[in-house]
Amino acid sequence: MKQAFFITATDTGVGKTIVTSVLGVLAQEHGLRVGVMKPVQCGGDDAQFLKKVLRADDDIKRINPYFVKDPLSPHLVLSRAKIKFDIKKVKKEFSYLKEKYDVVFVEGAGGFLVPITDNYFMADLVKDLDLKVIVVSRLGLGTINHTLLTIEQIRQKGLHLTGVIFNETKKEAKGIPEKTNPFSIQQLSGVSILGQIPFLKKLNRRHIQEKCSGPIDIKRILKSFPIKKTVELVDDDKKYVWHPFTQMKDWTNGQPLIIDKAEGSFLIDSDGNSYLDGVSSLWVNVHGHNHPRMNRGIIEQLNKLDHSTLLGLANSPSIELAKKLVKIAPKGLEKVFYSDNGSTSVEIAIKMAYQYWQNIGCTKKRKLVHLANSYHGDTLGSVSVGGIDLFHKVYRDLIIETVKVNFPDCYRAPKGKKYPDYAFECLDKFETILKREYQDIAAFIVEPIVQGAAGMIIWPKGILKRIETLCRKYDIIFIVDEVATGFGRTGKMFACEHEKVHPDILCLAKGLTGGVLPLAATLTTKKIFDGFIFDYETQKTFFHGHTFTGNPICCAAALANLEIFGKEKTLKSLHPKIKFLQKELQKFYDIKCVGDVRQKGFMVGIELVKNRSTKEAFDWKEKAGIKVCEKARERGVILRPLGNVIVLMPPLSISREELKILCDVTYWAIKEVLEV
């Protein structure tokens, strides 16, 4: 496997050249062919030295394409010397070296954000050459700040950070900072510490080997042997864990990524590499990972009451949360029934609606209506009201009969029909059925405005309102499943607000706890609630409940989530980011195989097609979506597709800069995989 690393440092004079020499020599001793490069050098003889110590037979102009004598910032000296920097030249030499060697170490000049020209930084070069970054730090007071700032920048740019190496620049006694720096930096940043190079009296190969092969584990750095912990975890995962929605045959043949930590918009794997969480850990995370206020809320509750049941008892977080949910939910929803995931919130909604009619004596009203291509979860009840063939076909005999309303996918209308008119036409057709059968129909369930799992299908304006009107007109319970769209995802707290609709039942989960703990809620009106208020002997109780219903820790997380919405004005600061995202998404149409780009707030679907003019889809066996997401992972972005639709659904707290990375990497990945 070919490898290329960039060696940068927290400052000049920290010892990049020493570290590059050490890594190079150790890798050679490990039996690898090692190339070296110093693209820009201002003063000194680093490149000559590297060439010598690593016994490289390459021309010095190849190792060091840009050399100026003055020890100043590259952007200054290059312009003073009237030398025009051209990244293409660097790329050409680098490609040659990468072809020739097993591993190439590229040494920077100065720190990570050193300008090479007025608008091109060392960081851009790292990105353009697609290098993994190793940061060299010194020990001692002040280094924590410098190192963390460098790490922060590398992560913000979405680059692959291998870890930090400490270099002892002087021979001296170690005080408290020197002894604790590496541990502190690892604790605070989650980055791997790759070792500590002792002060080297001489810089020859023998001395390097003698002094450094112990403290520096070159095999681990090169990942020709990933670190032991990862190897063991991967083995045990394959041995013991059955993953959801996963063909385990492929999984067992693959190399699973093990997530060990998370911070803000980033997930960090067991080797210390960070990845941008492009789909909010499956559509749930709201305020970023490891948010201090979320953590505090959970820990405080944990220290008070871990769990107590709602069957026969009450607890304070579930009471406080119910009150707050009623306050922010669409008007009319006054009662909260808890469960622990989106599917159960839907089961509860269905059973509630069904039993309501039974309880009040309209016993004929038993049928459930849903859109043909909807998704409401994976338990049998919620599968009954779903229609994604790939997920649901096998279970068809196990589920209840329903009424399916045909509905277009907003990109493809049947021949001769025009979108969005056709969407309204579908509902008109449904009304003719309703006229005939409304006395048999109990409820209509929808995902409002955005049908997530169906491929991020976005409704034209007015559809949601029209469905509400139909439900009112024909006395049908209107169930809105906001498991995915709730908590800001579409730009408003709830998608219902876009068209001012007032459901009879509302399902919430995913973002309810900020995406941190499993909790769901089914909200309903006083009218439906009253349909269950009878004498005990009538047996009209709502016979439903899960063991962990209303768990106090989960409710505390949900309270912290709502508190952050208020304190950080999450929705207000979201709007400019939605606009920015909208602008960034336009460029995807430059790619031929992008057929449609859909966005509602922070829910995005990019549909890949074989032929844009005919809208011909990629065969699912081609795995176009999966391949693009795998490619994005190489550049440190985690995505998960829905068939041929690439989904972007970042945490609401994502920064503009990170959002740009998300779009850039996705764009690049689609081009890499599908454009020949």
Ligand X SMILES: *Cc1c(COP(=O)(O)O)cnc(C)c1O
Residues contributing to the site for ligand X (CB under 6 A): 341-343, 346, 375-377, 447, 452-453, 481, 483-484, 509-510
Of 72, 66, 96, 71, which is closest to residue 84 (Cα–Cα)?
Answer: 66
Min separation Cβ 379 and ligand X, Å? 7
Smallest distance from the beta carbon of 481 to ligand X, in angstroms? Answer: 5
Contacts (Cβ under 8 Å, ≥6 apart) of 426: 405, 406, 407, 408
CB of 631 to ligand X, least distance (A): 25
Task: Label each residue of 129-171 as H, E or C.
Answer: HCCEEEEEEECCCCHHHHHHHHHHHHHHCCCCEEEEEEECCCC
Beta carbon of residue 486, minimum distance to ligand X (angstroms, whole number): 9
In the complex, least distance from residue 342 CB atom to ligand X, rounded to whole angstroms: 2
Nearer to ligand X, 109 or 483 (CB): 483
* Residue 50, helix vs strand vs coil: helix
β partners of residue 137: 166
Nearest alpha carbon to residue 438 among 387, 401, 480, 472 = 472
CB 525 within 8 A of CB 504: yes
Beta carbon nearer to ligand X, 342 or 636: 342
Please spell the DSSP secondary structure of 440-471, one letter per residue.
Answer: GEEEEEE--SEETTTTSEEPPTTHHHHHHHHH
Q: Which is nearer to ligand X, 481 or 596 (CB)?
A: 481
Residue 451: CB minimum distance to ligand X, A: 8
Would you state the torsion angle of the CA atoms of residues 366, 370, 372, 375, taken in this order, to the nearest 10 degrees? Answer: -120
Give the alpha-carbon dihedral of 202, 205, 211, 216, to 10 degrees.
130
Q: For residues 158 and 130, is the Cβ–Cβ distance under 8 A?
A: no
Closer CB to ligand X, residue 376 or residue 627? Answer: 376
Question: Which residue number, 108 or 386, has a Cβ lying nearer to ligand X?
Answer: 386
**Cβ proximity to ligand X, 7 vs 450, nearer residue:** 450
Instruction: Return the number of the residue (126 or 450) whose C-beta is nearest ligand X.
Output: 450
Token pair in block for residue 599:
């966005």
Single-letter code of the amino acid located at 80: R
Nearest residue (beta carbon) to ligand X: 342
- Shortest distance in whole angstroms from residue 609 CB to ligand X: 24
Shortest reach from residue 523's CB to ligand X, in Å: 15
The two structure tokens encoding residue 256: 């699973």
Q: Which is nearer to ligand X, 282 or 362 (CB)?
A: 282
Which string of b and e fits 534-572 if b means at least 16 CB within 10 Å?
eeeeeebeeeeebebbbbbbbbbbbbbbbbbbeeeebbe
Q: Which of 254, 445, 447 is nearest to 353 (CA)?
A: 445
Residues 6 or more apart in contact with residue 253 via CB below 8 angstroms: none
In the bound complex, what is the minimum distance in angstroms from residue 456's beta carbon to ligand X? Answer: 11
Q: For ligand X, which is the closer residue by CB, 65 or 448?
A: 448
Q: Which is nearer to ligand X, 341 or 522 (CB)?
A: 341
Question: For ligand X, which is the closer residue by CB, 93 or 481?
Answer: 481
Minimum distance from residue 281 beta carbon to ligand X (Å): 12
CB of 243 to ligand X, least distance (A): 14
β 594-600/333-339 pair status: unpaired
Task: Name 443's bridge partners.
Answer: 368, 477
